Structure 1
Amino acid sequence: MNPAPAPTVVIVPGLRDHVSGHWQTALAARLPGAVTVPPLTEARLSRDAQVATLDGVLSGIAGPVVLVAHSAGVLTTVHWAARHHRQVRFALLATPPDFDTPLPDGHPGPQTLRENGWLPTPRTPLPFPSMVAASTNDPLARFERVAELARAWGSRLVDLGPVGHLNPASGYEDWPQAVDFLDAVGCRTASEPEASA
């Protein structure tokens, strides 16, 4: 019997995450065949544009996929799931921001987020298995708020401890634990040998 095909990992960055020092970039390099949703050159803050870009990437992939989203990429993912239907084996949703609460200076305000379609945040169960990895000291979302989102989405909640926003500014240019989470759903990293025929 032939084994089930390994899923294609689709990396869904946040609005500021397309940088070489980000853990999603390191993860993509370790996962053969991984695809990263490209950054927008226009309408970067538009929810519809972000969702359409993710859907375009997914439409070009045959077979099962695993989504790995960070920050606003998590919200892109849940907005996409509310509007589109496709086989998703699993979604790893890392440190989503709380767009319903004013963000720190330097980030879009509630009115801008609402005008660009991000609010209200979807709170319906996701149609695929998912895990929300939450930080206890994320400047963009209190742990309790992220836990509420995880419950609403039907996601397993994992407490990562005090990891900030899990980005280079918080000291995370690599996040090895992501590989462990993906191994559990059949994703093979470049360091693992191919199975013999």
Structure 2
Amino acid sequence: MTPRILLLPGWLDSGATHWQTRWEQAHGFERVQQDDWQWPRRGDWMARLEDTLLADERPAVLVAHSLGCHLVAAWAAHSQHRARAAAALLVAPPDVTRPDLPPQLHNWARELRRPLPFASTLVFSTNDPFADAARSRQMAADWGSELLDLGAAGHINGDSGLGDWPAGLAQLRAVMARAGLAPGF
């Protein structure tokens, strides 16, 4: 059975030049659409992810960027349907414990630090303005994720100049292989 690839953008969604948008267009991956990208409520985002996962019996691979990474951790800590997710690629999770967190994100400040119940890789940048390298390493350790240092790539978004980000697709294939899944792309 071919797995679903679910794209989980962060706060404010992923724009036209973002690698998630490019992957959606090039490979037909499915973006999980949230009702409110401006004021993300963790419970609402978790419910939308749960509904999306339950709508299709195929295993899912979660491809999260920024706040979407914390969505994966929160959903995995609370859902009774964790088996619906087979793997996750977590890219540039922000430090939601920062004192300068925007008010729209305060309901995400209670960080969930449990190991994820599926294969995962966390990709971080050494000059991400939203999480320093030490915090990124700690999140990977807390979530039981393999760690990939991308070097100085900013927030690993559309502004990072990654284009289609073929190295990211290679990481997606690698985490899928660790989960025993064959990529169909």
Question: What is the TM-score with the length of structure 1 in the denominator?
Answer: 0.83
1:17 aligns with 2:9: no
Residue 16 of structure 1: SS of its match in structure 2? Answer: coil
Q: Which residue in the other structure is 1:146 paired with?
A: 136
Q: Following superposition of structure 1 onto structure 2, how do residues 42-191 of structure 1 map, counting pairs within 5 Å?
A: 44-84=39-79, 85-87=81-83, 88-103=85-100, 108-109=102-103, 113-114=105-106, 116=107, 118-184=108-174, 185=176, 186-189=182-185
Residue 81 of structure 1: SS of its match in structure 2? Answer: helix
Which one has the bigger helix percentage? 2
Alpha-carbon separation, structure 2, partners of 1:120 and 1:77:
14
Alpha-carbon separation, structure 2, partners of 1:182 and 1:124:
22
- Give the alignment's Cα RMSD to 1 decimal: 1.8
In structure 2, runs of 5+ residues without a counterpart are: 177-181
Are residues 181 and 42 of structure 1, via their aligned partners in 2, closer, same or farther at CA, if it must alter by over 3 Å? Answer: closer
Are residues 165 and 62 of structure 1, via their aligned partners in 2, closer, same or farther at CA, if it must alter by over 3 Å? Answer: same
Assess if the C-alpha contact under 8 Å between 1:31 and 1:188 holds in 2.
no
Looking at CA atoms only, which structure, 1 or 2, has the larger radius of gyration?
Answer: 1
Assess if the C-alpha contact under 8 Å between 2:115 and 2:144 holds in 1.
yes
1:30 aligns with 2:26: yes
Which 4+ stretches in 1 moved above 4 angstroms?
none
In structure 1, runs of 5+ residues without a counterpart are: 190-197
**Deviations 1:83-134 (CA, angstroms, capped at 9, x unpaired):** 113322210000000011134xxx614xx533x2x12110111111100001
Are residues 7 and 136 of structure 1, via their aligned partners in 2, closer, same or farther at CA, if it must alter by over 3 Å? Answer: same
Instruction: Give the fraction of aligned pairs with identical amino acids, expressed as a percent.
Output: 38
Are residues 26 and 43 of structure 1, via their aligned partners in 2, closer, same or farther at CA, if it must alter by over 3 Å? Answer: closer
Shift of 1:72: 0.4
Alpha-carbon separation, structure 2, partners of 1:11 and 1:25:
9
